[in-house]
Amino acid sequence: MWQHIVLLLPVILPILEGLLAWKIERRETRNRLVGASLVLNALLVLLAVVRGGEEFVLWQITETVPVYFHVDGVAKLFALLISCMWALVGIYSFEYMRHEENENRFYLFYMISLGVLIGLSFSGNLVTMYMFYELMTLMTLPLVLHEMTKEAVAAGIKYLLYSVFGASMALFGIFFFFRYGAGIAFTPGGVLTAESMAGHEKLMQWAVFAMIVGFGVKAGMFPLHGWLPTAHPVAPAPASAVLSGVITKAGVLGVIRTVYYLAGADFIRGTWIQTAWMALALCTVFMGSMLAYREGLLKKRLAYSTVSQVSYIMTGLATLNPMGFVGALLHIVCHSVIKNTLFMSAGSIICKTGKTRVDELRGIGKQMPVVIWCFTIVSAALIGIPPTCGFVSKWYLAGGALNLGETAFSWLAPCVLLVSAILTAGYLLPVTIRGFFPGHDFDYAALEKKEPGWVMLAPLILLAAAAVLIGVFPGFFISFGERVASLLM
């Protein structure tokens, strides 16, 4: 019974605490409750992860279809990442949201979304995951709609339509797995067998591809990436941070479960599915970087960057080999750390100066040196400059591509990743260069310090430090990824 409670509490408590925070009128009291709840939830997730391997059946839909939780290696990675990022962004939001209306409504859905995401991570089979996946879309929609302006409503509708379409494609695949799979529980190596498919291999290939594209919508994969650059500029900075750094990873989780725990890597390797998937991923990597390079609005530039960088993860997964898989898991962590920092830095600039465009940020490093230093450190990580975490993850991603053998992707993928890294430097480093070196004609006398308080700075500093520390000491993450990969391939 105690084991079941450990799995259930990280899902239920944030939802209850969000409802309680919604009713608390005094800001200080509510912030203390939310902060304590976020830290407590991270500790509960850690406890569930340490115990590991537990299962908890919530209820039986039918005799053969349970809704249940199971903590395996992938669940541990995603649950810990989500709980830690959610806590840091939540603490950051206490100062940022003072300038926003409807704070209580924001924290209501922010906390409920956390519980749903932990449930998504712990899901033990396809039905459980799909249930929490749909709930995630509904609970994060108000974060996009928060401002309730004309632009926010339009962005929310776009986010909902894209998400529903993607979920429908995933549901299409679920029906066929239920019919032709040997089960729907997440099983390392997959559930498809020659006996269960009985001559329906081609049909199952289309079902798997539909699920990859469907879950790829949330991950921002071309051609269904359009919700990201629309939603980010209109959402509050804390919402933009978790949308980019965490919510996109829910789509990645769906793809991992589909490819490695349902279909199996052997079923896809060498087929047209792998070719089409890799082509879409690389197209997204290049296109997202190019659009980010051309974009002048800071948050929209970062949104296009997310479109590109999440497809780095897709590229690693599409290699279907251990090195590429390890690189993908590493980049899941690195990108979350980096992109949460970038969006919180952008939010700090907007909150304290009101500037939203890159061409307005000349001299910003003199006004907000700590914020821009954090921005610079994680920018170097996103480019892949050693000794940051981005260098390690991209090294493994490129190595996984080179191990593809006698295919065009074995040289094309590393080339695309390299070009994207150059473009990443082109759209991030000008903020640092113009921010710290505005030129001789700049009016230094008119400068006024705009540094935010420690509530906003502390999460930025911690994440910027993490981007370096993971790069210097990547051994734990590499060995963890290798252990998971050894079970799947």
Q: How many CB atoms lie within 10 A of CB 299?
A: 23
CA dist 351 and 371 (Å) reads 12
What backbone torsions phi and psi does residue 222 show, to the nearest 5 degrees? -55, 140
State which H helix or E strand residue 55 sits in: strand 55-60
CA dist 190 and 259 (Å) reads 8
CA distances from 396 to 55, 478, 486 (A): 32, 9, 16
Peptide bond into 387 cis (omega under 30): yes
Are the C-beta atoms of residues 147 and 105 closer than 8 Å to each other? no
Complete DSSP assignment for 6-37? HHHHHHHHHHHHHHHHHH---HHHHHHHHHHH
Contacts of 269 by beta carbon, 8 Å cutoff, 6+ apart: 320
CA dist 126 and 215 (Å) reads 13
CA dist 320 and 262 (Å) reads 14
Shortest CA distance to 218 belongs to which of 287, 169, 151?
A: 169
Are the C-beta atoms of residues 323 and 399 closer than 8 Å to each other? yes
The pLDDT value given to residue 215: 92
Q: Which two tokens stand for residue 345?
A: 């830095």
DSSP for residue 226: T
Classify residue 332 as exposed, middle or buried by CB count within 10 Å of its CB (0-12, 13-18, 19+).
Answer: buried
Please name the residue that has the structure tokens 């700075």. 457
State which H helix or E strand residue 68 sits in: strand 66-70
Shortest CA distance to 44 belongs to which of 90, 91, 16, 12?
A: 12
Q: Which residue ranges make up each domain of the chain?
A: 269-489
Strand partners, 57: 68
Helix axis angle for 103-122 and 126-145, nearest 10°, is 160
The pLDDT value given to residue 2: 59
Q: Which two tokens stand for residue 389?
A: 């975490």
Shortest CA distance to 383 belongs to which of 448, 324, 334, 452?
A: 334
Question: Positive or negative, the Cα torsion across 288, 261, 73, 123?
Answer: positive
Q: Which two tokens stand for residue 203?
A: 């049909």
- Please count the CA atoms within 13 angstroms of the CA of 128 that sit on its side-chain side: 26
CA dist 423 and 280 (Å) reads 19
Q: What is the pLDDT along the chain (489 residues), one digit of tens a residue?
A: 556 777 888 899 999 998 988 888 888 888 888 889 999 999 989 988 887 667 777 787 777 788 888 888 899 999 999 999 999 999 999 988 887 778 888 899 999 999 999 999 999 889 899 999 999 999 999 998 888 888 889 988 998 999 999 999 999 888 888 888 777 888 888 887 777 777 778 888 999 999 999 999 998 888 888 888 888 888 888 999 998 889 999 999 999 999 999 988 888 988 999 999 999 999 999 999 999 999 888 999 999 999 999 999 999 999 999 999 999 999 999 999 999 999 999 999 988 888 888 888 888 888 889 999 999 999 999 999 999 999 999 999 999 999 888 788 888 999 999 999 999 999 999 999 988 888 777 766 667 778 888 889 999 999 999 999 999 999 999 999 999 999 887
